[in-house]
Amino acid sequence: MEDWRLQGQEEYLQNAILERKRYRRYSQSWDHDHCEFCWEKFSLEIPGALQVGYATTDNDRWICDACFEDFKSRFNWTVNPGCHDVPERLELTSVQAMQAEETSSRVVLILEADFGEKILSSAITGAVWVVDSEKNRLYVEKARRLDASRSITTFPVREGESLASACDRIIWALDEHHNEQSRTPGYRELEVIGVSLPDVFEPIFRDLNFTRFVATKTGFLATKE
């Protein structure tokens, strides 16, 4: 007999990219989520609820540890490293710490499905968020093999979603990972590649304290004061 927890989640969780992290709301309008499989509650406010688990990079889908273990091979999940809010820290040497500080002030958001080998270019510094595609995945894996400490996060573009809307959607999760509330110092500079300034919804960026916007050949550069 099939496990009662399996209810067709393949449709949205097959080959998903997950991160282990503290619970955070996908939307401000609700205070909890459920494990996609066993329906266990995730919440920071509700007593007894789970506070840490696996989630999609946009925090839309949550999976408890037990269900993750039970279904990880069946669903072929990939776990993104580089999520920094789970209490499991590596000691950094001072040189690494200095390099980390230098690059942590900058994040690159790549919205090109065929960006591919350019991920390995020395022009791409700092943490990277890149749209998931077959071609990008190949070079993301390569970049991670070359430098395991590199923070590279992949995220899917939804069916029918434009790259500009994907940018508007993912910027919240990106900001949450890299702003001064999740690390010191928080990032100040965001380079967006693949979407140009007139196509994004600027008020979203202003809400996140970006104040300066400069168009570039490949997209734009946004800076926080």
**Binding positions for Zn ion, rule: CB under 5 A:** 35, 37-38, 40, 64, 67
Nearer to Zn ion, 56 or 151 (CB): 56
Count of helices and strands (H, E) across the chain: 6, 12
CB of 62 to Zn ion, least distance (A): 9
Cα distance from N-terminal residue to C-terminal residue, the chain: 58
Contact yes or no for 54/19 (Cβ under 8 A)? yes
CB of 46 to Zn ion, least distance (A): 16
d(CA 173, CA 154): 12
CB atoms within 10 A of CB 152: 22
Nearer to Zn ion, 64 or 110 (CB): 64
CB of 63 to Zn ion, least distance (A): 6
Nearer to Zn ion, 54 or 187 (CB): 54
Nearer to Zn ion, 14 or 125 (CB): 14
Here the tokens at position 207 are 């809400």
CB of 74 to Zn ion, least distance (A): 14
